[in-house]
Amino acid sequence: MTTLNGQIEPLAIAARSAARILAGTKREDKDRALNAIADHLLAHESEILAANNEDVLRSQAEGISESLIDRLKLNPKRIADIANGARQIAALPDPVGRVIRERTLENGLHLKQIAVPFGVVGMVYEARPNVTVDAAVILIKAGSAALLRGSSTAAKSNEVLVNVMRSAITSVGLPADIVQLVSSHDRSTVRELLNARGLVDLVIPRGSAALIRTVVDESSVPTIETGAGVCHVYIDKDADLNKAIPIIINSKCHRPSVCNAAETLLVHQSIAAEFLPLALKALKEQGVRLHGDSQAIQIAKSCGVEMVLASEEDWSTEYGVLEMNVGVVADRQSANDHINKYGTQHTESIVTESASTAAAFIANADAAAIMVNASTRFTDGEQMGFGAEIGISNQKLHARGPMGLEEMTTTTWIVTGSGQIRE
């Protein structure tokens, strides 16, 4: 066990004790806690909004980007959505205790692999106060305690949200310490959390590429990497163009600040002259600033749409705002090659009516989620039926894609015998 002397150690010890109680808690009691959290969030809406407004005003005064402001900002609808996410998680089956594999050996030993809680899970995240609640309710349902280390940007919001949740948790007889906030925003608390091996079982980062890289590189505690989203939409030569425009606009413009927003549009060269003028005009109407390759720029000039030459850096940039790259590719394979070079293995979309082309695109797209004739915005735990999500993993170990309840458990083997010994 790592020896620590800062803020994390007492929080983690308290979390460990509370997690042991939570691990033995029945589903109905965990669900009561989640529904109580939802009720308390709605009941304290004005208090939450007041705290959030302080964070927003301070962040605006500090010159924080509009994309981060959008992630930070709460309103009555977003609070209602967060509360609804808690209720959705409550309605889902309990992931703890489910049987993964089961068999009986020739010697009579009965083997059963079951899902069990991690124990204590640390979250390191930026700006988004919804993560404070989403992470907490998922971890409670999965039987683990949550140590939440948000950013100073959302300090007031997170403080109120955690206090509201802790009050809700105690109201149903569970220990408040299953949810705790690391109140200090000194960077030393992150380092301490990342090195609390033996006290913390898992750390999950959620935020900028720089934050995620720091956590992955510096942590001695196991991590699940959530990644940046440089997502693509590829319009194939066999695409239904009536479907293509709405998919592009939704992927880019529905909420440009989130990780499943599209950053690059790729178009098959055989339809580029016909299709791109329509797509570019639609994007410009939404206020999207366009970067393109030489072929895309030529077409943009012909239809009076402003476009700047995309740099090598642009193709691998997660804009998080109304900016988008546009490229013309020779064929489906060229689209895949571009995606594999510049993408982040997050979400890729193909628009095509050809089943064989879609299958080839899927086979060659190394991504956590692949959409066929659908917006990239559907890579989302709630949209996929998981309730809220704790993050979207684009790594290849344990969990990949939106992480819900099942991904927040580990396993134990139960071996039952009748006196067998190994010879």
Contacts (Cβ under 8 Å, ≥6 apart) of 65: 320, 321
Number of domains into which the chain is organized: 2
Q: What is the pLDDT of residue 39?
A: 98
| Domain membership flag for residue 261 | yes
pLDDT (tens digit, 9 = 90+) per residue, 264-286? 999 999 999 999 999 999 999 99
Task: Give the CA diameter of the chain.
Answer: 82
Task: Please indicate, yes or no, if residue 392 is contained in any of the structural domains.
Answer: no
Q: How many CB atoms lie within 10 A of CB 245?
A: 17
Structure tokens at 307: 């476009």
pLDDT reported for residue 403? 86
Residues 179 and 158 in one domain: yes
DSSP H/E element including 125? strand 120-125
- CB 102: neighbour CB atoms within 10 A? 11
Q: In this structure, what token pair is assigned to residue 21?
A: 């109680």
Residue 253 sits in a domain of what CATH number?
Answer: 3.40.309.10
User: What CATH number did the domain enclosing 27 receive?
Assistant: 3.40.605.10
Q: Which domain holds residue 322?
A: 231-378
pLDDT of residue 5: 54
Q: Which regions in the chain score pLDDT beneath 70?
A: 1-5, 387
175 found inside a domain: yes
Cα–Cα dist 423/415, whole Å? 17
Q: Where are the alpha helices (DSSP H) in 256-316?
A: 269-285, 294-302, 312-315
Q: Are 163 and 184 in contact (CB under 8 A)?
A: no
- Residue 53 sits in the same domain as residue 152: yes
DSSP strand pairing (231-235 vs 347-351):
parallel
- Count Cβ atoms below 10 Å from residue 413 Cβ, excluding itself: 10
Query: pLDDT digit string (tens) for 399-411?
Result: 888 888 999 999 9
The answer to whether residue 104 sits within a structural domain is yes
What whole-number distance in Å separates Cα of residue 368 and Cα of residue 348?
9
- Indicate if 210 and 242 belong to the same structural domain: no
272 located within any domain: yes
* pTM for this prediction: 0.82
Q: Residue 390's pLDDT is what?
A: 82
The answer as to whether 391 is a domain residue is no
301 lies in the same domain as 266 = yes
| Residue 389 falls inside a structural domain | no
Residues 221 and 240 in one domain: no
Judgement on whether residues 262 and 342 belong to the same structural domain of the protein: yes
Q: Is residue 78 in some structural domain? A: yes
Same domain, 266 and 326: yes
Look at residues 327, 373, 320 and name the one whose alpha carbon lies nearest to residue 350: 373
3-state DSSP assignment of residue 263: strand
